[in-house]
Amino acid sequence: MTRNRQGIEVYLVYVDEGRCDGCGECRVLCPADVFSVFHKAVAVQPENCLGCRTCEAVCRSGAIVVTEI
């Protein structure tokens, strides 16, 4: 369950740089434009996260974790 602050669900997006192989699938498939890839994925706009966890599902190295806060 997510905490609802003034009608807004909030998610923490974490990318483990040590595990990320820079494939860019998270950037391509994220519907909220959360990621950029500069050799490794970076959550440049984590406030846009919808909590769909598509990035976790497509990350073949398991480098991305989305947590409800």
What is the full DSSP assignment across 6-67? TTEE-EEEEE-TTT-----HHHHH-TT--EEEESEEEES-GGG--S--HHHHH-TT--EEEE
Q: Which domains can be identified in the chain, with CATH numbers? A: 4-68 (3.30.70.20)
pTM, two decimal places: 0.85
Q: What is the pLDDT of residue 1?
A: 45
**1-33 pLDDT, tens per residue?**
445 556 778 999 999 999 999 999 999 999 999
Q: How far is CA 23 from the centre of its chain?
A: 14
Length of the chain: 69
